[in-house]
């Protein structure tokens, strides 16, 4: 393997199309194929579930996400540097809050996402190819960690080995150049969007049981115990997770040609594409499946496909494989740039800031990310970790939008090739939604904890534990600040 060098910089090799594909590819993963069923189930509990209410929630979540992206786009046009959100937070609030964000990205937000998405790819690969278990005792090497749970590296070992292989393969692809990684991203993103649109087309043309009546028919359950606002909040959580990842493109700003112009355009065009695709696929789901039937489906896309053609579920498995492969690639490509930037700021190990002398990629950051992501795969606890840090990520989303106000005040004369429309209402509205989401998440976590404790079951307040994990990173920060002779 050729050597890497400490000095050097990443080169701007990505055009607008690839940048848009990174936005779309990082967002559309596995969630859209399974989340709608759980969202419908949440609404059924109110007694007021309708297909159009479900579609309205998807649209609302998309518009809220777009508000955040519009706010982020102004900052991206002003600070077009590799590292994205990490660099933004440093300009907004200083080095310590920026570090906490970067640590969160490394510890689980992005590495946990890589692990989880690759694991979904592995699960569907097993289904599609009929791969059998490797025959290892799932309890081998198992142990328990307080507050985390049981660690069982050998459990579902076949899926874990496939997931680890995919992470290593895609890391290697991105090691050989951002242009190569971008080409892979383009192919798989275009493929999965076309496949989803074909599924939509088939749903409306070939479904025997599909009917516009399903779109107009409310749930047969006319009463429920859950308040409508609580149910909508729960459904929004599912939608927000499916929209998550839109800001990944800011991490690679230094490798995008004309980033002041192309990053904002990619965010807006990309999210507009995602919202359109999500509305269309959910219309297709609702056309084929009555909402009560959708609420009982764990894999909505498979159930819809089974109604369209023989072995439809098998072909949906292939679609999910294509989708998750592309999403894993996009997340690997973008996220390593955060640790690269942190190392260049001397708050992470310096070798992570190395640039490969031949391929001009952050090779050390890529493979460090690869190792940690694979460790999360074998820990079997990444779902719990993602639940914890999802709460934290929305704190940073809110802080990022508020930072727009900070930057306008701190740097009033700075060049801003793109300005958020309807300022200050757009970022303010996003912040209000984010705070409401955080409050409802914390309420639900505490309520779940209380109920589990009363039932004598082990429980954890995921949102609080997420904050604890982030604060653990503070110790590493102060170590590196002291090591480099700087005040924190």
Higher pLDDT: 402 or 484? It is 402
Total residues found in the chain within this entry = 488
Which residues, including other chains, have CB under 8 Å from residue 104's CB and lie 6 or more apart?
389, 392, 393, 396, 469, 470, 473
Q: What is the mean pLDDT of residues 201-226?
A: 78
- Residue 132 DSSP label: P
> Is pLDDT of 430 > 80?
yes
Is 488 part of any domain? no
- CATH number of residue 43's parent domain: 1.20.1740.10
Higher pLDDT: 121 or 385? It is 121
Partner residues linked to 151 by β-bridges: 143
Is 375 part of any domain? yes
Q: What is d(CA 213, CA 405) in angstroms, rounded to the nearest whole number? A: 47
The pLDDT tens digits of the residues spanning 67-86 come to 999 999 899 889 888 888 89
Q: pLDDT at position 254, please? A: 79
Higher pLDDT: 462 or 116? It is 116
The pLDDT tens digits of the residues spanning 262-315 come to 888 999 999 999 999 999 999 999 999 888 888 888 778 888 888 888 888 888
Q: What is d(CA 85, CA 79) in angstroms, rounded to the nearest whole number? A: 10
What is the chain's Cα-based Rg? Answer: 22
Q: pLDDT at position 5, please? A: 46
> Is pLDDT of 471 > 50?
yes
- Report how many domains make up the chain: 1
Q: Which domain does 382 fall in, by range?
A: 4-483
> Is pLDDT of 138 > 70?
no
Q: What is the mean pLDDT of residues 379-401?
A: 78
Higher pLDDT: 10 or 448? It is 448
Is 46 part of any domain? yes
Q: What is the mean pLDDT of residues 250-265?
A: 85
Is 100 part of any domain? yes
How far from chain centre, in Å, is Cα 405?
A: 25
Q: For residue 485, name the pLDDT band (cuts at 50, 70, 90).
A: low
Q: What is the mean pLDDT of residues 181-205?
A: 89
Q: What is the mean pLDDT of residues 209-214?
A: 79
Is 426 part of any domain? yes
Q: For residue 135, name the pLDDT band (cuts at 50, 70, 90).
A: low
Strands (E), 214-362: 355-356
Q: What is the mean pLDDT of residues 186-211?
A: 87
Q: For residue 9, name the pLDDT band (cuts at 50, 70, 90).
A: low
Q: pLDDT at position 386, please? A: 67
Q: Count CB atoms within 10 A of the CB of residue 208.
A: 8
Q: pLDDT at position 20, please? A: 93
> Is pLDDT of 243 > 50?
yes
Q: pLDDT at position 392, please? A: 84
Higher pLDDT: 313 or 4? It is 313
Q: What is the mean pLDDT of residues 89-111?
A: 90
pLDDT > 90: percent of the chain: 29
> Is pLDDT of 3 > 60?
no
Residue 365, token pair as written in the block: 């950051």
Is 120 part of any domain? yes
Q: pLDDT at position 6, please? A: 47
The answer to whether 315 and 334 are in contact (CB under 8 A) is no
Residue 327, token pair as written in the block: 């999403």
Q: What is d(CA 385, CA 373) in angstroms, rounded to the nearest whole number? A: 12
Higher pLDDT: 293 or 228? It is 293
> Is pLDDT of 186 > 60?
yes
Looking up tokens 């919202």 gives 275
> Is pLDDT of 8 > 60?
no
Q: Count CB atoms within 10 A of the CB of residue 292.
A: 16
Q: For residue 26, name the pLDDT band (cuts at 50, 70, 90).
A: confident
The pLDDT tens digits of the residues spanning 214-227 come to 888 877 777 766 67
Q: What is the mean pLDDT of residues 415-432?
A: 92
Higher pLDDT: 151 or 339? It is 339
pTM for this prediction: 0.84
Is 306 part of any domain? yes
User: What is the residue-averaged pLDDT of the chain?
Assistant: 84
> Is pLDDT of 151 > 70?
no
């Amino acid at each position: 393997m050729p050597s890497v060098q400490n000095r050097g910089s990443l080169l701007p090799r990505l055009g607008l199309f690839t940048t848009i594909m990174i936005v779309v590819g990082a967002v559309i993963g596995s969630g859209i194929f399974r989340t709608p069923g759980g969202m419908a189930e949440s609404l059924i509990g109110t007694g007021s579930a309708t297909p159009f209410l479900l579609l309205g929630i998807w649209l609302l979540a998309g518009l809220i996400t777009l508000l955040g992206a519009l706010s982020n786009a102004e900052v991206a046009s002003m600070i077009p540097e590799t590292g994205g959100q990490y660099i933004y937070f440093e300009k907004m609030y200083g080095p310590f809050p920026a570090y906490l964000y970067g640590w969160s990205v490394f510890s689980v937000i992005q590495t946990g996402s890589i692990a989880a998405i690759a694991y979904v790819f592995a699960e569907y690969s097993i289904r599609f190819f009929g791969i059998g278990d490797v025959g290892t005792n799932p309890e081998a090497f198992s142990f328990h960690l307080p507050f985390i749970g049981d660690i069982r590296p050998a459990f579902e070992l076949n899926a874990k080995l496939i997931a680890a292989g995919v992470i290593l393969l895609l890391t290697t692809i991105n090691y050989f150049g951002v242009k190569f990684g971008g080409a892979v991203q383009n192919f798989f993103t275009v493929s999965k969007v076309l496949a989803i649109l074909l599924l939509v087309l088939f749903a409306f043309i070939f479904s025997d049981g599909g009917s516009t009546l399903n779109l107009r028919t409310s749930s047969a359950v006319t009463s429920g115990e859950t308040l409508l606002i609580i149910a909508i909040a729960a459904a929004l959580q599912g939608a927000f997770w499916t929209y998550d990842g839109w800001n990944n493109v800011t991490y690679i700003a230094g490798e995008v040609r004309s980033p002041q112009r192309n990053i904002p355009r990619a965010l807006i065009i990309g999210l507009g594409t995602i919202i359109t695709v999500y509305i269309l696929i959910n219309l297709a789901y609702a056309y084929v499946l009555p909402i009560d039937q959708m609420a009982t489906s764990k894999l909505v896309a498979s159930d819809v496909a089974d109604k369209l053609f023989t072995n439809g579920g098998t072909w949906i498995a292939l679609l999910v494989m294509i989708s998750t492969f592309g999403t894993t690639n996009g997340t690997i490509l973008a996220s390593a740039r955060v640790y690269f930037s942190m190392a260049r700021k001397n708050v992470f190990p310096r070798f992570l800031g190395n640039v490969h002398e031949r391929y001009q990629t952050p090779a050390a950051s890529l493979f460090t990310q690869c190792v940690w992501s694979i460790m999360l795969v074998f820990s079997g606890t990444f779902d719990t970790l993602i639940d914890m840090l999802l709460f934290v990520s929305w704190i940073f989303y809110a802080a990022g939008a508020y930072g727009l106000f900070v930057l306008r005040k701190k740097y009033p004369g700075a060049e801003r090739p793109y300005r958020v429309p309807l300022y200050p209402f757009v970022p303010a509205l996003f912040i209000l939604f984010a705070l409401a989401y955080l409050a409802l998440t914390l309420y639900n976590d505490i309520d779940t904890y209380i109920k589990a404790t009363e039932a004598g079951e082990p429980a954890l307040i995921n949102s609080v534990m997420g904050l604890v994990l982030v604060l653990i990173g503070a110790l590493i920060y102060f170590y590196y600040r002291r090591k480099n002779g700087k005040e924190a």
